[in-house]
Amino acid sequence: MSLYDDIRIEGVAWSGGRALKRMAAAMVPPLFGACGALLLGFAALFVDLRPVWSAESPVTITSPNEARSGALLLKTGDGYTEATRLGIDVDVTVSGPTARARVTQIFRNESKDWVEATYVYPLPEGGAVDTLKMVVGDRVVVGEIKERQQARVIYEQAKRSGHKAALTEQQRPNIFTNAVANIGPGETVLVQIEYQEPVHQSGDTFSLRVPLVVGPRYNPAPVVQSVDLRSDGGGWGAATTDPVPDRDKIAAPVLDPADHAPVNPTQITVRLQAGFPLGEVKSSFHAVNMEAPNASTRIVRLAEGAVPADRDFELTWKAAPGKTPSVGLFREHVGDSDYMLAFVTPPALSEAEQKPRPREVVFVIDNSGSMGGTSIAQAKASLIYALGRLQPNDRFNVIRFDNTMSLLFPDCVPADAEHLDRARSFVGALEAQGGTEMVPAMQAALHDGGVSDNSYVRQVVFLTDGAIGNEQQLFDTIAAMRGRSRVFMVGIGSAPNTFLMTRAAELGRGTFTHIGSVDQVEERMRGLFAKLENPAVTGLSVTFSDAKADLTPAILPDVYRGEPLVLAAKLGQLKGDMEIKGKVGDRPWSVKLPLASAAEGKGLSKLWARRKIADAEVARTVGKATPDAADKTILALALEHHLVTRLTSLVAVDATPSRPDGEPLKLADLPLNLPAGWDFAKVFGEQPKPLAPPSERRADASDGHVQLGLRKHPPVVAPASPIVLPKTATDAELKLLAGAALLMLALMMMVIPRRRLAVR
Amino acid sequence: MVRTVTALSVALLGFLLIGQGAYIHAKALVAQVLLERAFDESVATGRIVKPWSWADTWPVARIEVKRLHASAIVLAGSSGQALAFGPGHVEQTPDAGERGVAVYAAHRDTHFSFLRDVKPGDDIAVTRRDGRTFHYRVDDHAVVRYDASGIDPRADGYALALTTCWPFNAVTSGPLRYVVHATMVEGRE
């Protein structure tokens, strides 16, 4: 019973399925008091996302708002403690096309209370988390993959019954949380997760990113590179260098090295086995030491003295000159299936081909009533920008539509100054009104009058919010009439019909660009035009001579210049060839890859599964699969391949401790590899002297202040796409009241004089 | 004479304003009749049916609160145009019956005037275009700013949020919204 007295059961919000469903409700501030540590920790990441080295200070009372990057928040009775972070070790092995990362972190509960901890961390998009191992005090827990709800229930039960438990959940495709229940006072937590990700390739550069910071919000701008040069500052504790520009936001005091034991910095080790002779290898944002055991291998470590980790670690590498591979083919045998991963870079075109082919562009602009307000302004600005990008030898036309439609020119005309001027004034005069009849406009745009010969690239740029109901009709039109035209959808406004746009672009073999505000116009349109102007590899198809293959991506995209085509497949047998066919510009191109000669790769099955899951998510959004069917597919893949997804979580419960109480855990019992240089005995053995006297620090005046702050500003989880509630009041009442008042006035004006007359 | 003319024109202005105000209510009422018809046809045929040929939107669901004898046909999208005719299904939120939080918005003085009488425990039935009906139980309500709804449409579970302007009897519009939260009752259908 005494155990129960000691354990603070946290996370009221998770106390049942009902609570889960009411997550949305719980986000409303008045109800937030009931929210669990997980939610709070998660909020912390979204509210402010930089890793900050002062977070390493022992026992810093801080509000979850102030947690940066991956942080372990311990919920205590009167606030949040950021756990002492003793060290982080990131160990990445790149083998050919894949990278396997093992991230190990040690935290200590310095408080006197039993706590539940929530660890929030970023992972690369497309990363597949498959392993969770955790050592809490003297207990080892290894995660098992379970359906999300089920995992949550298991975790909650274990938590209530006083068992130690750990839970890894995906919050967003690139944000994960680990929750650990029942950490005793003074206990140390060791968290190790492993994930798999594909190496990114663009042009001749390969790259790997270790996110230490979440999200695009704080993506490093290129300018920060100059800051890296200061990493010779000799240790992060030095007060002279302050890599964090907004340090004032951080509650933690600056550490005095004399009072504190050195804290382990983040260690990053990358074993790079590129599979080809390496040329330049460089770390974009951090100083590194590099060893080169042989021509195609590098071992990269962070330079001595911690480098500020307020930016992601990025490593890029190139092949030795002339050795850039244009094709990569890898295989892996798992269970009774073979998995294949192929990178194919389409041939670079000869100089003569570099000159872009002249284009025939039909711009279609929606000026229906639903585009009223800012939408029409964005659409007009986008179109004016696009007109400016046309070359003199291009041809173009403009079509506007609401429930009527008009063509600016009867047919496409050369993009000379006179025609462009007419087009600009035509567009400038457009006003939003009327209904939306999209199909005739699409038909007109796709109608290929044959004015230009085949040397022209025919493109349709369609600007709309997509507020129509007869979507299928539009799709059918595109599918039937697309011919040589490519359809590029530009979605206007804050909430365009994404389903319509995505599907229409897919069918029209173009792209979907979303412009959500006027200031995005130029940036987004520039991106679109880079695609419009450069020849792409089109009409891609893949055939397998012998093997039955389950290929992903399901729909082969056009490939733009410098980008590789990346294919993953599950094969019945590793035999025969895979042939890729397509057109580079207007020249047919094909390449045959003999499957049997593929090189051994690692973790390909997981990458394949991750991409199939992404395919299913896409199918769900574009309505090709019902949500239930898509979920079923995702669940099956995730359970089979042991992946954490939106629907599955890793859960570990220490149900029956195998060791008698008090017996310390021995190194041999650990089912995980400790990072090099970590001394197990020191980590889990006798408690080393506390790094700082916790009690003193907790008595700090700022302590209470922070708690107050916590009460006053309950963190609110920012939704991925926050829902803005529409304006829902009419002025009917106002008008009725004002009207009645005016009538009364009129009545008085009529009646009063008559009375006066009558009196007279 | 001048006085009479002035009085008449003031009266005319008054009638005009009353007419406009009444028109908003009338539009809301008449549209619902047309929408009912289009929705029933939609359910019967499984196709999208526009309530009138030039409409920019179409019915997607019917919301009913039996206890209050309230019912309204929901339109796709929540643009001002759509909301004049009926409640709108807010973009980027899931359909009723799907995972996440389905959000419907409507004017406080017309279609969602009944929200002020909705109490925790009330049953809200939502019939989709495909004819399937889902029941939700009201959990609670909240008043939030329009841009800080705290609603994550991708949240776990199956939930519903009905929202309208707040306060109910204000004459001008403000930044506050009234949100009724409801959770799907197990054993859907």
Higher pLDDT, A260 or A455: A455
Residues 44-63 of B with CB under 8 A from A: 48, 50, 53-58
The rounded percent of chain A whose pLDDT value lies above 70 is 61
Q: Does B130 touch chain A (CB under 8 A)?
A: no
| Spatial CA neighbour of A51 closest among A314, A315, A312 | A312
pLDDT tens for A25-69 read: 333 333 333 333 333 333 333 332 223 222 233 333 333 333 334
A514 and A480 Cβ atoms separated by less than 8 Å: no
Residue A223 confidence (pLDDT) above 50: no
Of the pLDDT bands very low, low, confident and very high (cuts 50, 70, 90), residue A82 is: low
Q: Domain-by-domain residue ranges, chain A?
A: 2-88+101-199+236-262+641-712, 358-533, 732-760
Residue A520 confidence (pLDDT) above 50: yes
Whether residue B109 and residue A733 make contact (CB cut-off 8 A), yes or no, is yes
The structural domains of chain B, ordered by start, are 2-184 (2.40.260.10)
Residue A71 confidence (pLDDT) above 60: no
Residue A204 confidence (pLDDT) above 80: no
Q: What is the pLDDT of residue A601?
A: 80
Residue B82 confidence (pLDDT) above 60: yes
Q: Does B93 touch chain A (CB under 8 A)?
A: yes
Higher pLDDT, A682 or A168: A168
Q: What is the pLDDT of residue A18?
A: 39
The helix (run of H) or strand (run of E) holding residue B177 is strand B176-184
HSE value, Cβ hemisphere, 13 Å, CA-based, for A331 = 18
Give me the mean pLDDT over the B97-111 stretch.
85
Q: Is A556 helix (H, G, I), strand (E, B) or coil?
A: coil
Residues 142-201 of A with CB under 8 A from B: 148-149
Q: Edge to edge, what strands does the sheet with A587-594 contain?
A: A537-544, A577-584, A587-594
Q: Does B184 touch chain A (CB under 8 A)?
A: yes
pLDDT tens for A316-338 read: 888 887 777 778 888 888 888 88
Higher pLDDT, A342 or A238: A342
Whether residue B139 and residue A22 make contact (CB cut-off 8 A), yes or no, is yes
Q: Is A341 helix (H, G, I), strand (E, B) or coil?
A: strand
Of the pLDDT bands very low, low, confident and very high (cuts 50, 70, 90), residue A451 is: low
Whether residue A627 and residue B106 make contact (CB cut-off 8 A), yes or no, is no
Higher pLDDT, A97 or A255: A97
Residue B73 confidence (pLDDT) above 60: yes
Q: How far is the alpha carbon of B67 from chain A, nearest alpha carbon, in Å?
A: 23
Residues 462-501 of A with CB under 8 A from B: 467, 469-470, 495, 497-498
Q: What is the pLDDT of residue A635?
A: 92
Whether residue A742 and residue B10 make contact (CB cut-off 8 A), yes or no, is yes
Residue A380 φ/ψ, nearest 5 degrees: -65, -45
Q: What is the pLDDT of residue A424?
A: 92
Mutation target vs A (from B13, B48, B54, B56; most A CBs, 10 A cutoff): B56
Of the pLDDT bands very low, low, confident and very high (cuts 50, 70, 90), residue A530 is: confident
The rounded percent of chain A whose pLDDT value lies above 90 is 6
A120 and A71 Cβ atoms separated by less than 8 Å: yes
Residue A74 confidence (pLDDT) above 90: no
Q: What is the pLDDT of residue B168?
A: 77
Residue A359 confidence (pLDDT) above 80: yes
CATH architecture observed for domain A358-533: 3-Layer(aba) Sandwich (3.40)
Query: Could you give the CA distance from residue A212 to residue A51 in angstroms, rounded to a whole number?
Result: 7
**Look-up: residue for tokens 């949500």?**
A627
Q: What is the pLDDT of residue A349?
A: 60
Whether residue A746 and residue B165 make contact (CB cut-off 8 A), yes or no, is no
B54 and A435 Cβ atoms separated by less than 8 Å: yes
Higher pLDDT, B188 or A399: A399
Residues 6+ apart with CB under 8 A from A648: A145, A146, A147, A148, A151, A635, A638, A639
Whether residue A370 and residue B56 make contact (CB cut-off 8 A), yes or no, is yes
Please report residues of A whose CB lies closer than 8 A to that of B111. none
Of the pLDDT bands very low, low, confident and very high (cuts 50, 70, 90), residue A722 is: low
A570 and A610 Cβ atoms separated by less than 8 Å: no
Of the pLDDT bands very low, low, confident and very high (cuts 50, 70, 90), residue A307 is: low
Q: Choose among B77, B110, B150: nearest Cβ to A24.
A: B150
Q: How far is the alpha carbon of B116 from chain A, nearest alpha carbon, in Å?
A: 14
Q: Does A753 touch chain B (CB under 8 A)?
A: yes
pLDDT tens for A638-689 read: 999 989 988 999 988 875 443 444 444 443 334 444 554 555 455 544 333 3
Q: Choose among A730, A734, A743: nearest Cβ to B14.
A: A743
Give me the mean pLDDT over the A149-159 stretch.
86
Range among A108-117, A286-295, A672-681 with highest mean pLDDT value: A286-295
Q: Does B149 touch chain A (CB under 8 A)?
A: yes
Q: What is the pLDDT of residue A676?
A: 47
Q: How far is the alpha carbon of B128 from chain A, nearest alpha carbon, in Å?
A: 14
Average pLDDT over all residues of chain A: 68
Of the pLDDT bands very low, low, confident and very high (cuts 50, 70, 90), residue B135 is: very high
Lowest mean pLDDT among A345-359, A425-439, A511-525: A345-359
Query: Could you give the CA distance from residue A240 to residue A314 in angstroms, rounded to a whole number?
Result: 26
**Look-up: residue for tokens 């590789």?**
A564
A507 and A622 Cβ atoms separated by less than 8 Å: no
